[in-house]
Amino acid sequence: MSAPVLIGYARTSTADQKAGFQAQLRDLAGAGCTKVFSEELSSVAATRPQLRAALEWVREGDIMVVTKLDRLARSVADLITITGELRRKGVELRILAMNLDTGTPTGKLMMNLLASIAEFERELMLERQREGITKAKADGKYKGRQPTARAKAEMVMRLRAEGKSANDIVTALGISRASYFRIVAENGHEEAA
């Protein structure tokens, strides 16, 4: 069995962080990374092309290495998503600053704890959201999402009264045919589909 390939990933938020970026590259090389993917962009960027490339490049038995947790993930939930993808590919993760290696029992335990905390935080957030909605409903402040087609009911009936066809109205207002016929029926009219 051959030795695992260590693949590094380095990221900095801005071009102004050159020293920190160079330190990441130095530490990844010092850890034995033979290939390093790097990018200079914010972790909140919609896409991180080099991270995606690294995740696609790694193969079973490889180890992905980052210097710090915040260089890899935006949040614990993001970390869990990334580690899940690595796990499915048979790739371990090593975070140098935390001395965390998912290839060890302790590293797996730490990652599972992080996943449990993320799930717990999400459940708390959803519970607070449900409580807020219940309170808002009780106070008469919560109406829920308003159906978009129903908001156009008055225009549907006006255009219909002007003699416009169902197809013309649907196209003009950007609603579905089903919504059109529902609005017409709710207003006491019948029309063949």
Residue 13 among the catalytic residues: yes
Residue 13 φ then ψ, to 5°: -75, -35
- Scanning the chain, the segments in alpha helix (DSSP H) are 18-30, 49-57, 69-72, 76-89, 105-138, 153-161, 166-173, 177-186
CA–CA separation, 157 and 148 (whole Å) = 15
CA–CA separation, 172 and 84 (whole Å) = 46
Tokens of 78: 């993001």
Active-site hit among 13, 42, 176, 179: 13
Contact present, 61 and 24 (Cβ < 8 Å): no
Q: Which residues are catalytic?
A: 13
